[in-house]
Structure 1
């Protein structure tokens, strides 16, 4: 029985609920840590810790005979987009935007997948998919305009919204690179081992992220705070432990297992629960309750995805 015809069991539903819950927590924690650590540095330390935890499981992938190095350019690009850029841009977005806004903008991913698929790979866009894309874009516009038509007409975006749009485009390209492997495919042994496949990306991603962190530190404003740019302590340590283990390792593993059981179409609907979880967490932890325009935007985004994915 193929994955796309596998019945959605309670166990599989639990697997697919864990990633959006953890990813929503990532946005909230990223917001909480603003002012405690520079955003690009936060991303670098997150993936450094995740990579160290993966070493006992998949260190073999870094050996010369693992099959990784003939495709190092592809993995370097995956590492740049998925590890080096996406979450760094998200943490940067959370400086001026809210977790609800950030996760709602990220929920427009299928729209950008359609556009990049057409531009980069010549994948045709059906009328139904185009209609769904327009609905989802209307949802994103509703969120970015804070529900105000006058603000939408004046195109007044906070910097964080623009950063998150760029992050979502980055993730769309990353997703297409996964869906369209290089000629001959990814090395079978690496592709079959989730830990090895992720560690291969992290290894290159840390090089990119480390360089970006260096640039960030060179451009940090002069601080009069004796503690410096990073407020080391238990809050930051717990935040780093969470983002390194939960959104990075646990969510990745649960998502892979869930998609293998029910297929990417069904799984994508679970992914769009992330803004709802982010809204609940924000109201509880940050005192940032959701607004009516958040609900309207979410309804339009999900409606667009439902329209475009119906057979």
Structure 2
């Protein structure tokens, strides 16, 4: 049974898109320093090392990790191995505006997958909320001038982001299924470690395939890359995943998905801050539309 969208739950679900917006900016900056799938592997390797002091008991014999390994292997594959690798790959081969536009389809995929595979009922309020939310995203991407959207062209990287969005939607619905051992479900660090452990294995295999098949240039180990790795391993990985998992369990995947559309708005504001530009009128209107979609979809 899900909880209402209280201010505490709303704040919990606002933290991930803010951190993921920074992740998109950082991922684009370091795209020439490290191959995309290798970046994902290094990110989660650092995250595992940071989690280890808190969640090492999850690896003990008799832990629920081993009795439920198939579930955690699937969560690690979708949420850590597939989604993050495809996202970095999309940022490497497509423009940030295209990637953000494709990612704004998250509420639609979340509602569709929930209805098709998890028996979720789609209400008119949720459809209306999705329309409001996506309109806000399109307003940011068009910079208030709709003809800019007509100039967009899809490239292979956009297909990677579509697949990533679908994977994240399935991952979020699986999070909402209460099938985890109680001792792991109650401890956020253990619950995240159970996913990271298997996700790191998937990421390692994908990175090995990247080096074997694509033979990318060597990693450019410089301080900007080290700082970027520390950020993406702590903020967008540990903190964001912890907040997203808790938020999804509280309010359900359908409502939580609308908060994902705050990511492009935060990304636009962060880009403006780095470029020294002031926010524009359409940022404020987009915020009203996105929040309006969240409120409309969450009303009971």
CA contact (8 A) 1:31 1:95 kept: yes
In 1, Cα distance between equivalents of 2:119 and 2:247: 29
User: TM-score if structure 1 supplies the norm length?
Assistant: 0.79
| Equivalent in the alignment of 1:225 | none
| Equivalent in the alignment of 2:235 | 246
Q: Please show how residues 1-311 of structure 1 align to structure 2 within 5 Å.
A: 4=4, 8=7, 17-99=14-96, 101-134=98-131, 147-148=146-147, 151=150, 156-181=153-178, 185-220=179-214, 228-255=217-244, 263=251, 271-285=260-274, 304-311=293-300
> Cα distance 1:121–1:252, how it changes in 2: closer, same or farther (>3 A)?
closer
**Alpha-carbon deviations, 1:157-199, whole Å to 9, x = none?**
1333322222111100001111124xxx210000011111111
> Cα distance 1:174–1:268, how it changes in 2: closer, same or farther (>3 A)?
closer
CA contact (8 A) 2:134 2:261 kept: no
Displacement of 1:258: 6.5
In 2, Cα distance between equivalents of 1:34 and 1:189: 39
Displacement of 1:69: 1.4
Does 142-151 or 124-133 show the bigger shift? 142-151
In 2, Cα distance between equivalents of 1:138 and 1:276: 12
Displacement of 1:20: 2.6
CA contact (8 A) 2:114 2:173 kept: yes
> Cα distance 1:203–1:221, how it changes in 2: closer, same or farther (>3 A)?
closer
> Cα distance 1:286–1:218, how it changes in 2: closer, same or farther (>3 A)?
farther
In 2, Cα distance between equivalents of 1:108 and 1:302: 16
> Cα distance 1:163–1:286, how it changes in 2: closer, same or farther (>3 A)?
farther
CA contact (8 A) 1:99 1:278 kept: no
Displacement of 1:156: 3.2
In 2, Cα distance between equivalents of 1:5 and 1:14: 10
Structure 2, gaps ≥5 residues long? none
- How many residues align? The count is 296
> Cα distance 1:288–1:77, how it changes in 2: closer, same or farther (>3 A)?
farther
User: TM-score if structure 2 supplies the norm length?
Assistant: 0.81
Structure 1, gaps ≥5 residues long? 223-227
In 2, Cα distance between equivalents of 1:14 and 1:300: 18
> Cα distance 1:55–1:289, how it changes in 2: closer, same or farther (>3 A)?
same
**Alpha-carbon deviations, 1:18-59, whole Å to 9, x = none?**
433221111110010111100000001100110111111111
CA contact (8 A) 1:90 1:167 kept: yes
